[in-house]
Structure 1
């Protein structure tokens, strides 16, 4: 752990397991409530100077951090792959994305503007100023164990907040590597703090401690709701990126080859373990069979294995993830779904692998139509008219990301307006960039990350009225 500028060890350890080999790769020190209190107190102490520092100074430290991340990018990528399994090429792209966020917010730290409001009285001057909210607690997931950290911490630091981070228990090594970069960048003591340990001890301290003024979380909707309830007692500001159930709509006028390429990219990257992974494919009836055949042919050719080797699909994070994917497939088959490829755990290796799977004949009664799979399983639904598609894909609970492929520009605009999702990619399977807001609606989250919207999550507006006579 890293608290007040120092590395902290304890006698209590936690094993870190490689999901591709099931081998122990390390053990790390873990803490609990006391270490978390220490981290919060350190962050609060550091806030008095960090929060009032000029934006140019904070920018300097962030730029130094970006340099350190870039200098260590290969080691960071290898740590990601060893810890959570994604192919090394994907891990390298994640590290580059993480650096993008730090560099972008290094610039934005210098551009936090207030506002002058025209007064309604001759002897008054009205202003709005932006101030950092205080100590922020960040809780990050295992599926993007580096970029999720910088996507939260970089805007917090740019705004003038100090941070206590709790990473996912599956991927502590990635967090440690990122904090080594913060340390090498010589951030002032207490500005960033890392606590590792059980959620049942660390979580209540983060949500209940009045010195923490902001909670930012990425993870499941169920956990997000609990954090919101717990944070309510001290009325903390909360932003959350929660579960997704992304639809991928393919109209008959779409370029099918590009659509298949997009589905492969959004469904099977990280073995389907991202919040914006395609979870449901909706193909117009006239092209559904052709799309399914093309997709199955290419999905069957994807190479499954250890992410450190030349593979396309790595392991799932644990045994429960494999069991969930398999239960969704079995449920679909029991309801007349047809498996075109895959359909079972990948038995050629010892790790937590599942075959890339394509299923046709999907319908709304299946589990896969209503639950987030978080695995490499692609079900294909069909529709007949554009007028019915919005009602089919808009979900009562989820609203994070959606994709739509069509050559009709007018239809693209109609879909953009009708899809009830926080992120929409029209003919674009990779819409996420550092300068744009990322976040969902409904039970997929609240608040944004990325862009100027992400910066505002760590700022408070203060209105000032000055009477001059």
Structure 2
């Protein structure tokens, strides 16, 4: 398998790929080894102004294209992504750490999502209202205008495309700022869109100090829409910046997903399903199952079986075919997880497995399971975003729902029970944007992905992901 980091780290502004020059730079590091993979240019204020000007011009060109023309470009971009799959997945694994097979799966989903929006571009419908003879009122949907997107590092292939594809399908231009920690795979995703035939200025890409870039772009009157995926505090900060210009926002923020496991669950399916889902991408997933509430009759049995599965996880480089879980994405994450686990054990939690760093110069942390975790432990209240599962027993359905809804987060929740009536009650009672009942699958190209409460507002994917890049206009004729 080719393990080279085959990408050129660049900005993309007004159709031009721009290298370091005399700009400040950021080292991109392989989290499995600590080695520097490449040097990323950081945008200057002049670069950002140029990107904004190009986005304004690109928007006028792109919104004039027909839905068929826009969809054709997206279709080609999806094809190019598939043709370049092995190289782009390798880049993602080397810079982010996830196993190569997971990166390939992420890319396949991304290509399918782009294809879906290529078709959905043709289904932006309005309506005609009943009026007296000789007059008419119509409702139409139009692109909101130039948009800016800020993406995290945990899914460096999917996250940019999840924002770019619906924006382009709607007729918007976009400036995207992918993460500095994992820029190469995002660069290659943008390259697929550019190579598919986008006019200059329609899609720009910049990197830089996040607060500096976000303040500069959001303050511009050119930008009419902000899409952000990341932490709750940063999302609230960006919303305050957007409010000054009355700019629309989509916020896909943090989660702390509860998992309610009842004593009538399909035990033999539930344990391996949840063990795999919890430690996918080393737990660095916003919808990762995290707070496990297990009905007391099966609590000890479930914990024992779950730990046995976790102990079989092979920790290592994502480029090793035998690896089930790679390193954490940057040196901040092991520090954060270590502190949370120490706080939980000090508060009285039982450490069932893991709980320590592993492996040389990389950012590895062993898959960890904590039992009987007190509710006051920090890890039960703040999103860990790492390879830790916390378990507590519960007695009744009401107890479980109370715990599921206890926190201000509301992104994803999971329930495992074979009782159909209970499934309906849980679907109604749990405060979450997405609920999985006997499944851990939360993403589908035709379904909305988003949360409630502090986990944000608006949705990505599905027709809802297109709607957030559209505005509604009523035209009355007499």
TM over 0.5: yes
Match of 1:2 in 2: 12
3-state SS, counterpart of residue 280 of structure 1: strand
Task: Report deviation, 1:396.
Answer: 3.5
Q: 1:331 aligns with which of 343, 357, 368?
A: 343
Show structure 1 runs of 4+ deviating over 4 A: none
* TM-score where L is the length of structure 1: 0.97
> Which of 33, 55, 68 matches 2:80?
68
Is the CA contact (8 Å cut-off) linking 2:40 and 2:180 kept in structure 1? no
In structure 2, distance between residues paired with 1:6 and 1:320: 33
Shift of 1:330: 1.3
The correspondence for 1:190, drawn from 201, 217, 220, is 201
Q: CA deviation at 1:72?
A: 0.5
Separation (CA, whole Å) in 2 of partners of 1:55 and 1:206: 27
Distance in 1 separating the partners of 2:44 and 2:244? 21
Deviation at 1:55, TM superposition (A): 0.2
Does 1:393 pair with 2:413?
no
1:96 aligns with 2:103: no
Residue matched to 1:49: 61
Equivalent-residue separation in structure 1 for 2:45 and 2:407 (angstroms): 37
Whole-Å Cα distance in 2 between the matches of residues 440 and 77 of structure 1? 28
Q: Which residue of 1 aligns with 2:7?
A: none
Equivalent position of 1:361 in the other structure: 372
Q: Distance in 1 between matches of 2:406 and 2:102?
A: 29
Deviation at residue 325 of structure 1 after TM alignment: 1.0
> Residue 291 of structure 1: SS of its match in structure 2?
helix
Q: Distance in 1 between matches of 2:412 and 2:355?
A: 25
* 3-state SS in 2 of match to 1:286: coil
Q: Which runs of 5+ in 2 are unaligned?
A: 1-10
Show the 5 A alignment for 1:14-33.
14-33=26-45
Q: 1:79 aligns with which of 91, 94, 118?
A: 91
Q: Is the 8 A contact 1:142 1:170 kept in 2?
A: yes
Does the 8 A contact of 1:135 with 1:212 survive in 2?
yes
Other-structure match for 1:448: 459
Q: Secondary structure at the match of 1:212?
A: coil
Which deviates the most, 320-329 or 246-255?
320-329
Contact 1:266 1:276 in 2 (8 A): no
Q: 1:276 is matched with which residue?
A: 287
Determine helix, strand or coil for the equivalent of 1:204.
helix
Q: TM-score, normalised by structure 2?
A: 0.96
d(CA) in 2 for partners of 1:286, 1:335: 24
- The DSSP-based 3-state class of the residue aligned with 1:179 is helix
Please tell me whether the aligned partners of residues 399 and 421 of structure 1 are also in contact (alpha carbons under 8 angstroms).
yes
Among 325, 328, 348, which residue is 1:313 paired with? Answer: 325
Q: How far did residue 266 of structure 1 move?
A: 2.3
CA drift at 1:315: 0.7
Aligned to 1:431: 442
Matched, 1:258 2:269: yes
2:57–2:201 Cα contact (<8 Å) kept: yes
Question: What displacement does 1:218 show?
Answer: 0.2
Q: Which runs of 5+ in 1 are unaligned?
A: none
CA contact (8 A) 1:265 1:429 kept: no
The residue aligned with 1:152 is: 163
Tell me how far 1:262 sits from its aligned partner: 2.3
What SS does the aligned partner of 1:83 have?
helix
How far the C-alpha of 1:369 sits from its partner, in A, is 1.0
Question: C-alpha distance in 1, partners of 2:273/2:130?
Answer: 49
Partner Cα separation in structure 2 for residue 431 and residue 377 of structure 1? 20
Tell me how far 1:278 sits from its aligned partner: 1.2
Deviation at 1:11, TM superposition (A): 2.2
**Correspondence list, 1:146-295, <5 A:** 146-295=157-306
Q: What SS class does the counterpart of residue 334 from structure 1 fall into?
A: helix
Count of paired positions: 465
CA offsets, 1:273-321, max 9 Å, x none?
0100112001000001001000101101100011111201111122221
| Residue 126 of structure 2: aligned partner | 114
SS at match of 2:298: helix
